[in-house]
Amino acid sequence: MTNATAASAAPRKPTTLHRLREMHAQREKIAMVTAYDATFARLVDDAGVDSILVGDSLGMIVQGQGSTVPVTLDEMVYHTRCVVRGNRTAWVVGDLPFGSYQESREQALRSSVALMQAGAHMVKLEGGGWTADTVHFLTERGIPVCAHLGLTPQSVHALGGYRIQGRDQAGADTLRKHARELAEAGAAMMVLELMPSAVATQVQADNPGMMTIGIGAGAATAGQVLVLHDMLNFTRGKLPRFVRNFTAEGGSAEDAVRRYVAAVKDGSFPDEALHGY
């Protein structure tokens, strides 16, 4: 066996926060997808994703809800446990669902502990402004936090629907301000959803040490995330323009995820002309 063959056959080491930061520093793109159960967690991990998001999008994808709002903390804990059982090496991010962190910093801590004890490596919460204090409170206590700005689905009713955020100057300035506050509060990662590519580029430039993960936010972010069922063309109905069908070239679901990882890494996804705003 040659050294190259031995290296390719070697098992992948578990992804750590330190490793993700190394990747970002070396400008290697981070490939993240959602998963909600052990079977798909094993599949995407074997396909080489760097991170799995156990998203509250399970409310719509798995439960058939109209939004993420009805998802409970107990349900997130259950699905996180399922994903962790199937995963071996990817970095697991668990979503804090609506109502599990808005009341107080202490409530956010209790909810985060529940997700971490279920096996999550990091928790994610939505919104800016008031959330910076919560992020600081959690990170001081050793809980890695992923922030989430732009379209924040838990606030869909307040936002007036699934709309692109930051289109005007005031909105863009607010997003950049909130991103700086969250980065200063200690958030290690930040999902940027459904915003103009130019705004996401500015957010990343403002916070060079922050690992921004885009979904409908252009190609300048440190990585990308997609809902697994969307990119595998399982989801019925019209999909957002930022989604690419990775099953179109044929093969298995794992082949499709491997194509996604490769496209994120080489920068061919997202294509600004097709997937950007």
Tell me the catalytic residues. Answer: 193
Q: Which residues contact 234 (CB under 8 A, 6 or more apart)?
A: none
Q: Strands 145-150 and 51-54, how do they pair?
A: unpaired
Pick from 87, 91, 48: nearest CA to 262 = 48
Instruction: Determine contact, residues 109/63, Cβ cutoff 8 Å.
Output: no
**30, 71 in Cβ contact below 8 A?**
no
224 close to 270: Cβ distance less than 8 angstroms: yes
Nearest by Cα to 178 from 142, 213, 209, 147: 147
Report whether 156 contacts 193 (CB < 8 A). Answer: no
Helix (H) and strand (E) counts for the chain?
13, 8
225, containing H or E segment = strand 223-226
> 3-state SS of the chain: helix, strand, coil percent to 5?
45, 15, 45
Task: Using alpha carbons, select from 239, 228, 234 the residue that is nearest to residue 51.
Answer: 228
Q: Which residues of 114-123 are buried (b: 16+ CB within 10 A; e: fewer)?
A: bbbebbbbbb
